Structure 1
Amino acid sequence: MHNLFLGLVKTHFYHIWVQLKLFRKSRELRRLHAILAELHLPSRLGRLPRLVGEPAGGSLTADQWLILATVVGPLALPELWDDCHRSEDQQDLKFFRERLDMIRRRVMMQKAVRKPKKKSDLAGQERGHPDSSVINEGTLRRSSRVRKPTEKARDLVLDADDAGACLDDEDSLWPGMDDSDEDEDDSQRTSNLHERDLANFLKLCKALRLFLSDSITDQQLELADCLLREYCAELVELYGADVIRPNHHYATHTAEFVRDYGPLRGYWTFIFERLNKILKSFRTNNHEGGEIEVTFFREFHRAANLNRVLAEGLRQPAESVFHQTCRHMQEATSNMRGTLQQLVDELEEAYYDDNVLLSFSPRAARARLDEDVYYTLLTYLQTRHPTKGFHSDIALAPHQGSIMLSRLATVFDYVVVAGYRYYAASRANTPTNSLALIRVSEAGTTCVGQVEHIVHYECMGHGHELFAYVRWLRSANVSLANTMWADCVDTFKLQAWHDIGFLDPVSEPTPCPIVPLYDLLSPVARHKTIVNGQRYWITIPIARNAVMYS
């Protein structure tokens, strides 16, 4: 987790592209910020800071670097290379030679600026804290000896990989630059980007996407390992040996770990890091020597005893004072924010979704179906069950035994299918969580649509139907093969769609709007961009097993 996201992705995006000024602040970074502000991501992914790459954006967590590499990167970053077209051969050789010289100068400048500070810090450590030898009664005894770093360690200039989710000293200002660099106008500076820069980063993105799948075949594992090794080798060629870290060597062993222990999601440490972050946020007021641990242990027993009392009270008759008191106490304790209890609740919800094949929201309503939904359902049932007769509530029965469809049905806020939650756009505040990649044929053909309604329909004489009513995006007759997204299409299942609304099922040929719930494959993120002079939506499924879909 730390090695791949905070070690590789952060190093590439932040320490190479941003700190070495390959991204111009007034061009590429500003354009990226505008893209992030308009990007449509499912809420389960969260959002990246809008000012990512700048001090005001803060440090990203490992989970945010994961999202940047596997979703935002393939979807949005190619747009930054739209106007980056260079000829081959001699001009490329000259470009890379000049850029490598520039990178080498900037790295040396950064080391020169940071070395005096590092020496002063080491000197302070060797002198020791004046109170380090004082041991107060009742505190934990610690050694006052300070380990002296070797000469090689003094010369190493390494950035901390994990800065948590807050600003740290190394990210507050770009190393090697003063405050005046913040306001520098670099709009007239020639771009230092090359088409190979994007292709190189996308190799890392594709390798991570394969490594992070719920299941992975031997062929996919070999492909991911090959992509990662090619990425590391090209990194030296594109940016020089100064950008290489031990993390890049460690990463070449990832395939071995997957062969030995299985997919990375089975043993990564996101939950432990999240717990560490919450525990570190507590104010301890310098209580050491086990005091804070004793406090946590007492709180655990207090909470356990309270839960025991509440459970006993909730088993009492509903009209009793004891039951009502316990119910109010239970509701009050569920409103904690920024605490371990909130984390536990979130994890329980995520675990519940991940292990559920089909589940509906507790909130539902009995309602009349809209006209378009009702008549589409009628046509769907007549086509699917030709031996049965169905007719609407305003039509005469065509023959004896024909079933009249009622307009009443149960509609839900959301449904969980194979671990992913889909919201009905008609009952949600935003349609962002309603976009889905949907299977539309037995051959595995997929389309993207907006889930408008989630319906449980019961019909006397027929049984019940569980379905989603979908409005389909307009497929664009444009190929991404000759664009900057060409390298992403197959691995990330990118698709292009017109941005002029949805298909009309009455006047246009569309897939059937009535979709069985098991055909919902993945939530979708989308980005509006310009391809060949026209505006389109580009979508990417976020399901971990989306690489398996054809």
Structure 2
Amino acid sequence: MMIPARQAIPAEVYGGFEMRVCDLPGSRKLEAFAAHNHKANPCYFCKITHDEINTQAAYDVDNFVLRDEWEQICHAFAYRDATTAKARKAIFEEHGQRWSQLFELPGWMPSGCAIDFMHNFYLGIAKEMYMAFLVRGHLLNKDMWRRLEELVNAIQWPSGIGRLPKNLGENHGFAKADQWRRWVNIQCTILWSLWGDDTDMIRRNAPQPPRNAKDVEDFDRSDLTEIYEVFLFASVAERILASKSISAEDVRRGHSYLRRCCHRMLALGIHLLPNHHLAMHYPEIFRLFGPVYAWWLYAHERFNGMQEKVRTNGKGDGEMELTLTRNWVAKQRLHELLVSLPHDATPEERELISRVVSNDRAAGTLRTHMLSHSAALSSIKAPPRIKNFSDLRYLPHPGVYKLLFAFVRTVWPDLPLADDLNVNPQYTTFSSTSSTRVFPFISVDGTRYGSIMDKRSSADRYACVDFGSARIPCRVLYHLERLVANQDIPVFPWSLYATDLGVYVAYAEQFHDAEVIVSEQLAAPVAIIPIKSRTLGDDVPLWAVHSFDRTGIEPEDDWFNELADELDSITN
């Protein structure tokens, strides 16, 4: 079949368009390409076939036969110019391409449509993995589902992080993409608690499905450790690829774990979907568009939900659309007002906006949303109503005054400071009663960090703190005290990937001596999962601390590296 060549457009005239992001069905309609279940053309990046999705060829990235964008555009014009339905059908069946009026636009290229990470990974790969192994595969029996529910409900979540359902023992799925995202963050710790053996490793024998179970997923369940590694690799890949900032090397590492995850599922006999193959094209999308925060659809889905709640009259002729538009414009104007007042704004106007942002009646998601906007004006923000000084010598924890005084003298060594018991007039007195205010919480770059003085919520009393090259989970008092960890804590199945996963294990409710740090060292909110080691016993409760900074955690792990080397020498 002859394909007419498209008239060449000079590079200096060829404009180019911003990226387009849709879910999978939306992207196919936008690009006038075949659906993802098309037998010959399920992928608009390469020429893999649908029958190859469950073979190694669909994940052999180095040997993909990529599509030529200009050829696809030529096929689209050929489809438009075909004079019979039979000719159009032949073009579509062979090349998967239809005509779209958008191809008339200079700069409209198929590569401008990215694979949405939210739909592809969380609602595609992570969800299918969970359903195939745990639900349809019956790798959790009734008692395990009960224990999973208890463990998930016992997690101490930071206030800015969405929760998981409380009835997972009965209803095994999640309704929202953000819940799947949270599950991927914690699944390695949760599954270890359910599948761990007496040595704190994963046992080999997998639970067998009930005799009366219907439609059981058929896969190799002879070695539970291999199944656990599928979840482990997926969590590591998500943690790296979903970072707020990412390098080309990070993309390569994260994608390698995702490929290992897919290869392992193929080896186990799990039926893979087009989403698994499409994820193999992540590196090119990251190269073109940067971190996923720039192109995933969480914000767009949120906006859709906001628009669905707008009361409309349901009338046609554009009246309903006009109502939606007016509501949207009003919200955007409010957003602009919150984040950027004009230079000539009056003090009364600034005070009004400050009251709106800090108003206690604006609770929940809305309050978090407004606080994140107000963070654009100041990276560190404290409650404005705290005006009275605190007596540092009468705080619940003794020694705070001495710690803070020593810290101030270290920060400003040239300042002649003396404690409040000194009577020398040549020194400036650092008063214990009129020098310091104690805040129940502060906001750093829009993230809320609480303390033991916050009587309304205990959700944000723990955080990760940067100490030089190390990142340590801590408890917030009025300052911070480190959690205790040492070489007696055993090596867990995820320990070799702890840095990438952002997981740190410490003794529950045990802390190092208190110390003073500056607010800029606050790095990330954390979720705390109470766990127990079989080797240490029930009398030694532990915390698995999961960081939610999306950039990784780097604990002081010299002692662990030695244990890891020793473990490698034993296993090899």
Class of the TM-score when normalised by the shorter of the 2 chains: 0.5 to 0.7
Residues 1:519 and 1:536: Cα distance change in structure 2 (over 3 Å): same
Q: How does 1:71-86 map to 2 (within 5 A)?
A: 72-83=186-197
Q: Specify the code of the residue in structure 1 equivalent to 2:249.
A: Q
Q: Is the 8 A contact 1:212 1:264 kept in 2?
A: yes
The equivalent residue for 2:528 is 526
How many angstroms apart in 1 are the aligned matches of 2:330 and 2:523?
Answer: 44
Which stretches in structure 1 are left out of the alignment for 5+ residues?
Answer: 109-190, 454-468, 504-509
Residue deviations 1:188-235, cap 9 Å, x none? xxx987122121111111111111112212222111111111101111
- Please state how far the C-alpha of 1:547 moved relative to its aligned partner: 5.0
The equivalent residue for 1:349 is 371
Q: How does 1:442-481 map to 2 (within 5 A)?
A: 442=468, 444-453=469-478, 469-481=479-491
Please say if 1:50 is aligned against 2:80: no
How many angstroms apart in 2 are the aligned matches of 1:417 and 1:304?
Answer: 24
What is the SS of the residue equivalent to 1:436? strand
How many angstroms apart in 2 are the aligned matches of 1:316 and 1:395?
Answer: 45
- Find the partner of 1:494 among 503, 528, 538: 503
- Find the partner of 2:134 among 17, 26, 41: 17
Q: Specify the code of the residue in structure 2 equivalent to 1:255.
A: P
Q: Is the 8 A contact 2:506 2:542 kept in 1?
A: yes
Residue deviations 1:357-391, cap 9 Å, x none? 33333332322233222122223334555665533
Residue deviations 1:55-81, cap 9 Å, x none? 3x76421111111112x2244332122
Residues 1:406 and 1:429: Cα distance change in structure 2 (over 3 Å): same
How many angstroms apart in 2 are the aligned matches of 1:292 and 1:4?
Answer: 35
Q: Is the 8 A contact 2:474 2:483 kept in 1?
A: yes
Residue deviations 1:500-520, cap 9 Å, x none? 4434xxxxxx3x611111221
Residue deviations 1:451-474, cap 9 Å, x none? 222xxxxxxxxxxxxxxx223323
Q: Is the 8 A contact 2:201 2:493 kept in 1?
A: no
How many angstroms apart in 2 are the aligned matches of 1:259 and 1:386?
Answer: 47
Q: Specify the code of the residue in structure 1 equivalent to 2:515.
A: P
- Find the partner of 1:541 among 527, 543, 547: 547
Q: What is the number of equivalent residue pairs in this alignment? A: 416
Q: Which moved more, 1:358-367 or 1:276-285?
A: 276-285
Q: Is the 8 A contact 1:526 1:539 kept in 2?
A: yes
How many angstroms apart in 1 are the aligned matches of 2:324 and 2:227?
Answer: 49
Greater share of strand: 1
The equivalent residue for 1:218 is 248
Q: Is the 8 A contact 1:225 1:255 kept in 2?
A: yes
What is the SS of the residue equivalent to 1:411? coil
Q: Specify the code of the residue in structure 2 equivalent to 1:210.
A: I
- Please state how far the C-alpha of 1:38 moved relative to its aligned partner: 0.7
Q: How does 1:298-447 map to 2 (within 5 A)?
A: 347-353=369-375, 357-371=379-393, 372-383=399-410, 389-397=416-424, 401-407=426-432, 408=434, 409-440=436-467, 442=468, 444-447=469-472
> Percentage identity across aligned positions?
23
How many angstroms apart in 1 are the aligned matches of 2:201 and 2:429?
Answer: 68
Which stretches in structure 2 are left out of the alignment for 5+ residues?
Answer: 1-117, 336-340, 394-398, 557-572
What is the SS of the residue equivalent to 2:381? strand
Greater share of helix: 1
How many angstroms apart in 2 are the aligned matches of 1:206 and 1:316?
Answer: 50
How many angstroms apart in 2 are the aligned matches of 1:418 and 1:548?
Answer: 21
TM-score by length of 1: 0.65
The equivalent residue for 1:236 is 266
Q: Which moved more, 1:378-387 or 1:515-524?
A: 378-387
How many angstroms apart in 1 are the aligned matches of 2:547 and 2:262?
Answer: 27
- Please state how far the C-alpha of 1:43 moved relative to its aligned partner: 1.0
How many angstroms apart in 2 are the aligned matches of 1:295 and 1:357?
Answer: 36
Q: How does 1:243-322 map to 2 (within 5 A)?
A: 243-281=271-309, 287=315, 290-297=318-325
TM-score by length of 2: 0.62
How many angstroms apart in 2 are the aligned matches of 1:374 and 1:85?
Answer: 45
Q: Is the 8 A contact 1:422 1:523 kept in 2?
A: yes
Q: Is the 8 A contact 1:213 1:545 kept in 2?
A: yes
Please say if 1:106 is aligned against 2:134: no
Residue deviations 1:235-288, cap 9 Å, x none? 1222x24x3111111111112211111011111111111222343456768655
